[in-house]
């Protein structure tokens, strides 16, 4: 799928003169990003989450804690078929929660996430989300890992804990940002999700962070990923991708192929067609995520990151209490 952005908005980073300099810049940028997140977001969340950080990733451990009758929306994989056969009523196994369950970030850092019509690009929102979640989780003993995708699967970072590991993860994301200026090619999210399924042998919490602007065919690999893991889709978007303002004649450039065309945004008919197609894509995307059975967090480039995470944590806390796993998108 082509992902167009106006050239008057925030575009891709400028090409660096030397790869060595780019690596150095990325390393320094990662430290600055994490320090800023610790002061502006994580400190806020420390007081507001009040210990509920565990709702951000919840899973099942290996110790059986109890049996109870099956309820609507329970995971059918937890049905105890022997007990069900004896009692003629479906029963599910309840497990002790594993506090040290690993979390994986499956990161789509293709060219389309370089777009942002305001102060921040989608890539910056992605880096901020990963930095905050990774730091919150590693501080409480959880391990985090990542798969980094640009034009292909470019890096696999095994799960570890600690601030230094979070810096390593952010450095990989920042380095990918400096390299993306010279790369072209369409996004194949299906390939990334298939790779993720093969590289995560143990049940984990998986955050798929992407704008989901990809070649078709990613829906089935995403659904298969949920068969073993708890999957959260973190969908990145910019308001300008949904509704074009009246700016006259402007150039639009395909984020991934570099193809460019001129459009007249003063044409009300064109803006209506654009909005209608965008709305149809929104409906199709949300339906696909719901069908895959994943929780969804929608992050706009205009969102307050702390507020979005709090609302998502609140949703998951209510689901834990209700014992449900139904899909519902969260928009801050």
Answer with the residue of higher pLDDT: 317 or 268.
268
Highest mean pLDDT among 10-19, 22-31, 63-72, 235-244: 235-244
pLDDT at 4: 45
For residues 279 and 109, what is the distance between their CA atoms, to the nearest angstrom?
24
pLDDT at 323: 52
Q: With both helix axes pointing from N to C terminus, report the angle between 163-179 and 122-138 in degrees, rounded to the nearest 10.
A: 170
Where are the domains positioned within the chain? 4-59+98-331, 64-95
For residues 177 and 13, what is the distance between their CA atoms, to the nearest angstrom?
7
Residue range 4-59+98-331 in CATH 3.40.50.410: yes
- Asked which of 67-76, 169-178, 226-235 is least confident by mean pLDDT, the reply is 67-76
Strand-by-strand arrangement of the 249-254 sheet: 4-6, 249-254, 260-264
Handedness of CA 217, 220, 225, 230 (dihedral sign): positive
> Which tokens go with 72?
């609507």
Answer with the residue of higher pLDDT: 92 or 256.
92
pLDDT at 84: 85
DSSP-assigned beta bridge partners for residue 155: 148
Q: Tell me the per-residue pLDDT of 272-310, one tens digit each, with 9 for 90 and over.
A: 999 999 999 999 999 999 999 888 899 999 999 888 888
pTM: 0.77
Over residues 89-116, mean pLDDT: 81
Q: Please check whether residue 288 is in contact with residue 280, taking contact to mean a CB–CB distance below 8 angstroms.
A: no
Q: Please check whether residue 168 is in contact with residue 185, taking contact to mean a CB–CB distance below 8 angstroms.
A: no
3-state helix, strand, coil in the chain (%, to 5): 45, 20, 35
For residues 106 and 86, what is the distance between their CA atoms, to the nearest angstrom?
42
Q: How confident is the model at residue 202 (pLDDT cuts 50, 70, 90)?
A: confident
Q: Tell me the per-residue pLDDT of 213-270, one tens digit each, with 9 for 90 and over.
A: 999 999 999 999 998 888 999 999 999 999 888 888 888 887 777 788 898 888 889 8
Q: How confident is the model at residue 192 (pLDDT cuts 50, 70, 90)?
A: very high
Helix (H, G, I), strand (E, B) or coil at 249: strand
């Amino acid at each position: 799928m082509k992902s167009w952005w106006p050239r008057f908005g925030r575009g891709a980073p400028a090409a660096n003169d030397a790869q060595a300099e780019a690596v150095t810049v990325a390393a320094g940028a990662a430290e600055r990003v994490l320090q800023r997140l610790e002061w502006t977001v994580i400190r806020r969340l420390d007081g507001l989450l009040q210990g509920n950080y565990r709702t951000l990733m919840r899973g099942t451990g290996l110790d059986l804690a109890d049996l109870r009758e099956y309820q609507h929306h329970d995971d059918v994989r937890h049905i105890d078929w022997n007990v069900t056969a004896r009692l003629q009523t479906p029963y599910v196994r309840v497990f002790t929660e594993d506090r040290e369950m690993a979390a994986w970030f499956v990161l789509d850092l293709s060219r389309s996430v370089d777009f942002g019509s305001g102060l921040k690009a989608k890539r910056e929102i992605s880096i901020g989300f990963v930095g905050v979640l990774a730091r919150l989780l590693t501080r409480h003993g959880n391990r985090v890992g990542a798969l980094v995708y640009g034009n292909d699967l470019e890096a696999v970072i095994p799960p570890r804990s600690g601030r230094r590991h979070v810096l390593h993860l952010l450095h990989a994301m920042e380095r990918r940002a400096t390299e993306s200026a010279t790369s072209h090619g369409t996004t194949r999210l299906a390939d990334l999700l298939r790779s993720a399924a093969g590289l995560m042998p143990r049940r984990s919490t998986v955050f798929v962070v992407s704008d989901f602007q990809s070649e078709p065919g990613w829906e089935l690999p995403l659904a298969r990923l949920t068969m073993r893991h708890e999957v959260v889709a973190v969908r990145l978007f910019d308001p300008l991708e949904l509704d074009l303002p009246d700016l006259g004649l402007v150039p639009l450039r395909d984020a991934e192929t570099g193809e460019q065309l001129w459009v007249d945004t003063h044409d009300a008919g064109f803006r209506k067609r654009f909005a209608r197609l965008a709305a149809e894509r929104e409906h199709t995307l949300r339906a696909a995520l719901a069908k895959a059975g994943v929780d969804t967090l929608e992050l706009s480039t205009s969102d307050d990151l702390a507020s979005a995470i709090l609302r998502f944590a609140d949703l998951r806390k209510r689901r834990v209490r209700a014992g449900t796993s139904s899909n519902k998108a969260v928009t801050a």
